Amino acid sequence: MSEVEMSVVVREELERKEILKRYKSLLRSIRHELTNEQKKTIRAAFDLALDAHKDMRRKTGEPYIYHPIAVAKIAAQEIGLGTTSIVCGLIHDVVEDSDYTIQDIKRKFGEKTAKIVDGLTKIKEVFDHTDSMQAENFRKMLLTLSDDVRVILVKLCDRLHNMRTLESMGRKNQLKIASETLFLYAPLAHRLGLYNVKSELEDLSIKYTQREAYKEISHKLNAKKAARDRYIRKFIEPIKKKLDEANIKYTIKGRPKSIYSILKKMNQQDIPFEQVFDLFAIRIIVDSLAEKEKSDCWTAYSIVTDIYKPNPSRTRDWITTPKSNGYESLHTTVMGNDGKWVEVQIRTERMDELAEKGYAAHWKYKDSKEGIENEAQAGVDGWLARIKDILDNPSSNALEFLDDFKLQLIHEEIFVFTPNGDLKKLPKGASTLDFAFEIHTQVGSKCIGAKVNNRLVPLSHTLANGDQVEILTSEKQHPRDEWLQYVVTGKAIARIRNYLRESKREAADKGKELLKKRFHKEKIEFVEDNIQKLVRYFKVQSSLDLFYSVAKELISADKLQISNILNKKIATAAAPIKVVTAPNTSNKKNEIVVGDEYDLPYSLAKCCNPIPGDDIFGFITIGEGVKIHRTSCPNAVSLMSNYGYRIIKSQWKNTMVKTESRFLAGVKIIGIDDVGIVSSLSEIISKNMGVNMKAITIESHEGTFEGMISVFVEDTKHLDDLIANIKQKHPMMDVFRMELKA
């Protein structure tokens, strides 16, 4: 045997041992007691996966079987799913990647497992083999959700492991998969109550879409870990003492906020890392009897707030009224030692299991029984019913559907009451019109106003927690275009759009008949070519819009001189559709390689103003050439997840070479107001740093000021040097880069 053959044999033997080691680790991670029959089923699934993937390897070079074992382990250990889900995790790629069929799965493991694997295969076809999310296929895939929600739970396990191993993928695929995860899978995990999965998916997504921000926050969190641990120990000491005196059984955990939530707060509030005060949370988990859960949690709350002063505006009671995904907990933010805000969460062990594993904590699946054994499914059933409601009213624009679906995924909730005292859950920001559609489509369609707490309010009135709402209707009322500005719920949006679409189609049918008569009167043939000439002449989007405009007299009769329009040959000349490419700059000015081309025309997106040194990507627009965006652009996630096929790899040329180009960037400055602050800043920026300013605005607020400066810089290093220089001259100021408004 040659040396090469020997090394292959050794490698295969080592891999075989590693595979068995991982399989045994999977079995140990299963938290419920397995029967002999269940052990045999799991082993059969493992053997089938091993055979199906025997010649396959992942991008990392590892045997492919590592992946399904890892997915099954996440399902068992991190979500707490049962035998059926573990089996599905092991064989979720078998049908897609081998000659095994769904019928083979059905014969070997039964109809339920086959149905879940079939659903997983459909999801894989939709997302993993295309450059973007095909919303129409996604709509069909969602219908499998209502058959068995384990389809999406196992898919979340699959996505989580793929995100954990994303390092081995190319940059374009990293951006596509990470954006898709942030756009869809993290909100799905949140909606199903899987908070740990949601947080990890979000953090891993920005690790690839916003690399620099992720590294910076991660570094700052790690640098303060020892000090943070000391602070937490000191903070919980008096709480533990009082809980012990009250004879309450408990455990206390301290954890930092996720990197994603920190970054989100920094962006939303335009503040640097140092000003995010509640960087960590304390969780008190009470060991409580079922009948004493509520009183024990409030006792613990009173102990905490006796020791530390609470912020009244930051107290949340999700025990009295749980979130629609089943989440129960008491939240409060208190002022701790040294003037630091600390978030405290109080819940029982049952509530904590639900918070960690979401609805999976309720789904104690037993394969001998059909369906789900817990009434807690009612919440997810209600959510799925709303999703099916949207599915049953398909939008002509598939991306509209995705937006409507996302509205159902993640939102803060308010609780309002009907006149009879029935409780309704709505997203924060919902209007009286949303409430009307939540009651019934007909009520929403006929709504003319409402009484909120016995006071008359318009359709657009935004509801608040605890409002009691009575809807007023009229048979003469019907949905209008402006109603879309008043609503936020997916159901209301879908219903209004559907009515408007049908109404427009009916009007267009009448307009078509009127136009046909006009053609006949002028003895001109009513054919598609002539209709399209009118579409171009009147600069409308389609023949439907043309017919509608005629019906509604938006195109007046005196303008509808068909023979004159067709004979003038003006239709072609007046065509509104033309391709406008980005201005082609000379090679000396081209700073970016788009794809593999050094001179492909591009322009910088105004929504995020990228500068050399930023992580960037190209987006092929319709009519404006390639637009260059930062991967941290507010629009990046939507662009990359919905239009992945139009993303083109782009990178800055060697930024070590000095160029004459300058790029617009924004700097925000917060400090103590002082005479001459503008001239001081101008001197640092213009004279000392040689940087040109486009604009500077300073606003004073009772002794403090906020400044926004637009500057032209060479690259990120130039900008960082400028910020460091300002901080050096004014140590008390907060100075950081911020997005310029487009």
Catalytic residue IDs: 96-97
Answer yes or no: are the C-beta atoms of 655 and 612 closer than 8 Å: yes
Q: How far apart are CA 135 and CA 156, in angstroms?
A: 18
Please report the DSSP string for 533-548 in residue order.
HHHHHTT-SSHHHHHH
Do 453 and 468 contact (CB within 8 A), yes or no? yes
**What is the per-residue DSSP string for 632-692?**
T-TTHHHHHHH-GGGEE-EEE--TTS--S--EEEEEEEEEE--TTHHHHHHIIIIIIS-PE
Question: Could you tell me the sign of the dihedral formed by the alpha carbons of 444, 446, 451, 455, in that order?
Answer: positive
Contact (CB, 8 A) for 124 and 84: no
Print burial letters for 79-99: b (CB count within 10 Å at least 16), e (below 16).
bbbbbbbbbbbbbbbbbbebe
d(CA 418, CA 416): 7
Sign, CA torsion 454/458/464/469: positive
Which H or E run contains 10? helix 3-29
* φ, ψ for residue 701, nearest 5 deg: -140, 90
Sign of the Cα pseudo-torsion (575, 581, 582, 587, in order):
negative
Which residue in 322, 310, 385 sits closest to 350, CA to CA? 322
**Which region holds residue 331: left if phi is over 0, alpha if psi is between -120 and 50, else beta?**
beta
Q: How far is CA 259 from CA 210, 215, 217, 264, 271, in A?
A: 11, 10, 7, 9, 15
Nearest in space to 477 (alpha carbons), one of 438, 433, 439: 433
Token digits of residue 204 = 């891993």
Strands across the sheet containing 469-473: 455-457, 447-452, 469-473
Q: Do residues 135 and 183 lie in contact, with contact meaning Cβ atoms separated by under 8 Å?
A: no
Q: What is the DSSP string of 377-402?
A: HHHHHHHHHHHHHHHTS--SSHHHHH
Strand, coil or helix: 485: helix
| CA–CA distance, 69 with 92 (Å, rounded to integer) | 10
Amino acid at 326: G
- Which of 383, 489, 398, 496 is CA-nearest to residue 140? 398
Kindly state the DSSP code that residue 362 receives in the 8-state scheme: T
Please tell me whether residue 73 adopts helix, strand or coil conformation. Answer: helix
